[in-house]
């Protein structure tokens, strides 16, 4: 995960799993997993050398045969994939209408805007509403924060089947 996406998942007020977005309760360092990674080895996909998993990232970064292996995979994938853009809008992550901060889920957008832009009086388009089939991408809310509070304190996908 990139740093921006991972940070979004670990918001102090509501941390979530980076894969399934389930809420996280109290968590601790995965010492058993760390020990397993330290003691495990695997073959490099490029040169075939046996490398400890804890050292694999630095090995593959320096391994010229691994770099060739990745480049060949990229070339093959790029040739076989059609360039089709999905007509289905993204309704799971949103961009802040004030500062263009990206990859915010609904709760993250509400929290971000409330924390960073509460005093901004500009009229903006709600990115959550604009992504919905009934949303108007040109409608600018007179009071965006009141709108967030009233309309987006729950997720549509929780209540719509």
Which residues make Cβ contacts (< 8 Å) with residue 42, sequence separation at least 6?
Answer: 50, 51, 53, 56
Cα of 111 vs its chain's centroid, Å: 16
Using one digit for the tens of pLDDT, what is the confidence trace for 20-49? 777 777 667 778 888 898 999 999 999 999
The model carries a pTM of 0.46
Using one digit for the tens of pLDDT, what is the confidence trace for 76-118? 777 765 666 666 666 788 999 999 999 998 888 988 998 899 8
Residue 158's H or E segment, with its range, is helix 156-159
Among residues 33, 6, 9, 3, the alpha carbon closest in space to that of 22 is found at: 9
């Amino acid at each position: 995960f990139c740093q921006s996406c991972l940070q979004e998942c670990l918001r102090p007020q509501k941390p979530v799993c980076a894969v399934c977005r389930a809420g996280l309760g109290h968590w601790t360092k995965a010492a058993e997993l760390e020990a397993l990674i330290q003691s495990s080895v695997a073959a490099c996909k490029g040169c075939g050398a046996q490398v400890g998993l804890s050292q694999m990232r630095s090995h593959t970064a320096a391994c010229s045969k691994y770099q060739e292996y990745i480049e060949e995979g990229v070339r093959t994938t790029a040739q076989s994939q059609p360039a089709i853009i999905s007509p289905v809008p993204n309704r799971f992550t949103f961009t802040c209408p004030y500062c263009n901060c990206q990859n915010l889920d609904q709760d993250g957008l509400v929290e971000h805007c409330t924390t960073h832009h509460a005093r901004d009086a500009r009229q903006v388009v709600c990115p959550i509403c604009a992504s919905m089939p009934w949303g108007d991408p040109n409608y600018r809310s007179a009071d965006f924060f009141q709108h967030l509070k009233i309309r987006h304190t729950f997720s549509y996908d929780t209540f719509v089947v």
